[in-house]
């Protein structure tokens, strides 16, 4: 079956063949994709209260259009990663129902009863169980796909299934390169441009550190990463957390997933500078965000080490001192990646609505500068922090 692009009618016809709905079901489809890349249909049988989600890759970047072609093979990576998440962290990912690599589509569990975490955080929603959930997601996916646990031959064979050249290139460019010079693809608030030209783009020392992080991203195939773990790739409810949109999955430095989620919390933290919200409410919410960051990191750390103590296989990693330096490196790199993702979201191609929701462009640029400055300080000082509590204290002192 060769590739054709779905629309609502074709999507209904297609899922009828899956045996998921009853043969007589009257199905309704709605395209809800709000992401940068793909089509997403929710298909419902109202009567039976059953639904699923069909996600299909388009042969180009959706936010840009046909002028930026992109291979649809990225669905294969998303499906491969989702299969692994369904095994390692079944509670925290949508269930994969069906995949069709030729049509570049997956069918998965419908999670529309949950809210996108990013929107929840803009409404100051607190997700009390999130640190518990995401730390398990991180500790299990990052440990059990690494050489700490896997047979080295199996690990290399698995890594060979995740040579995700095109989406890695997007991250290499959009996160680690374009923000550091006046790249055409950047998406720049005109009120921010003078700061970029007169200050930010003159920081060669910062570009150097970003380049070191980029090289690490490109060369350090430690673990299977989600690869795009921001608050727009997570559904969060009272007691539920679901991580989706794993098309950027590849074998990279474990610290990247950890740093990316913390960076997105910090972007939200800073965003309140530009918003007209009651100061006490902001104070309270910020306290919650920083406490969450501490919990996310410390719980991850603990669970990762628990996995290690219980299940590490390779004799070399049991050598005295090895674990300590591994964990230390992971922490330092996570703070570096955290800073890098904060920077890319202010004037790179794709922004966060947390800050872009500030309509007044002058106010927005002031907030963006604070994001940039905090991102820079985290990158530059990353070796100096002893633990996550020190990072959070530093954020408090500086903002
Ligand atoms: P992209 O790769 O283009 O960013 P996403 O996987 O992020 O696509 O999906 C885009 C949007 O579609 C999400 O923000 C969400 O609103 C909706 N969506 C995606 N997957 C599901 C799902 N399993 N259940 C409900 N809605 C979903
Ligand atoms: Mg997405
Ligand atoms: Mg997206
Ligand atoms: Mg995506």
User: Distance, CA 190 to ligand 3 centroid (Å)?
Assistant: 24
- Mutational pocket test of ligand 1: of 81, 119, 244, the residue with most ligand atoms within 8 Å of the beta carbon: 244
CB of 43 within 6 A of ligand 1: the answer is: no
**Pairing mode, if any, of strands 65-69 and 60-61?**
antiparallel
Domain C-terminal end among 84, 109, 134: 109
Question: Range of 70's domain?
Answer: 8-109
From ligand 4's centre to the CA of 95, what distance in Å? 17
pLDDT at 282: 97
- State how far the Cα of 4 lies from the Cα of 103, in Å rounded to an integer: 7
Closest CA to 243 of 99, 57, 111: 111
Residues 83 and 163 in one domain: no
Can you read off the two tokens belonging to residue 96?
Answer: 């994969």
Q: If the chain, 399 residues long, is cut into consecutive pieces of 10 residues, what is the mean pLDDT of each piece? A: 94 97 96 88 96 96 85 96 98 98 98 97 98 99 98 98 97 98 97 98 98 98 98 95 98 99 98 96 98 99 98 94 98 99 97 97 98 98 98 94
Tell me the C-alpha to C-alpha distance, in Å, between residue 183 and each of 62, 171, 175: 20, 14, 12
CA of 351 to the centre of ligand 3 (A): 10
| ipTM score above 0.90 | yes
pLDDT computed for residue 36 by the predictor? 78
Whether 163 is covered by a domain: the verdict is yes
Phi, psi of 232 (to 5 degrees): -90, 0
Query: Hey, which of 30, 52, 55, 237 would you mutate to test ligand 1's pocket, going by the most ligand atoms within 8 Å of its Cβ?
Result: 55
Together in a domain, 80 and 175: no
CATH assignment of the domain containing 31: 3.30.200.20
Considering every ligand atom shown, identify the ligand nearest to the alpha carbon of residue 352 and give its number. 3
CB 105 near ligand 1, within 6 Å: no
Number of domains in the chain: 2
> Are 163 and 248 found together in one domain?
yes
Residue 157 contacts residue 150 (beta carbons within 8 Å): no
The SS3 of residue 39 is: strand
Contact 70, 166 (CB under 8 A): yes
């Amino acid at each position: 079956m060769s590739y054709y692009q779905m629309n609502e009618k074709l999507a209904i016809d297609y899922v009828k063949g899956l045996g998921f709905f009853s043969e007589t079901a009257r199905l309704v489809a709605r395209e809800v994709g709000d992401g940068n890349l793909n089509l997403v249909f929710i298909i419902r049988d109202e009567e039976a209260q059953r639904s699923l989600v069909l996600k299909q890759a388009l042969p180009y970047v959706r936010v840009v259009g046909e002028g930026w072609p992109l291979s649809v093979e990225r669905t294969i990576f998303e499906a491969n990663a989702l299969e692994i998440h369904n095994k390692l962290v079944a509670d925290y990912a949508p269930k994969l129902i069906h995949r069709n690599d030729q049509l570049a589509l997956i069918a998965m569990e419908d999670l529309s009863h949950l809210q996108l975490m990013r929107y929840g955080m803009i409404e100051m929603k607190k997700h009390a169980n999130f640190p518990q959930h995401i730390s398990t997601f991180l500790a299990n996916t990052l440990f059990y796909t690494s050489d700490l646990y896997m047979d080295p031959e199996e690990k290399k064979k698995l890594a060979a299934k995740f040579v995700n050249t095109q989406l890695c290139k997007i991250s290499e460019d959009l996160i680690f390169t374009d923000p550091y010079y006046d790249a055409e693809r950047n998406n720049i608030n005109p009120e921010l441009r003078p700061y970029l030209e007169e200050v930010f783009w003159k920081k060669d020392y910062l570009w150097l550190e970003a380049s070191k992080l980029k090289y690490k991203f490109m060369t350090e195939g430690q673990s299977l990463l989600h690869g795009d773990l921001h608050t727009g790739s997570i559904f969060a409810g009272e007691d539920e957390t679901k991580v989706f949109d794993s098309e950027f999955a590849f074998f990279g430095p474990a610290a990247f997933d950890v740093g990316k989620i913390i960076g997105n919390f910090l972007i939200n933290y800073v965003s309140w500078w530009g918003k007209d919200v009651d100061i006490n409410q902001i104070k309270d919410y910020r306290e919650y965000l920083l406490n969450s960051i501490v919990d996310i990191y410390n719980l991850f750390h603990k669970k990762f080490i628990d996995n290690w103590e219980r299940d590490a296989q390779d004799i070399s990693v049991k050598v005295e001192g090895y674990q300590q330096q591994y964990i230390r490196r992971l922490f330092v790199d996570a703070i570096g990646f955290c800073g890098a993702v904060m920077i890319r979201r202010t004037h790179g191609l794709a922004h966060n609505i947390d800050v872009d929701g500030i309509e007044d462009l002058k106010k927005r640029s002031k907030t963006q500068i604070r994001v940039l400055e905090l991102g820079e300080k985290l990158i530059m000082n990353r070796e100096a922090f002893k633990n996550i509590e020190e990072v959070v204290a530093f954020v408090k002192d500086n903002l």
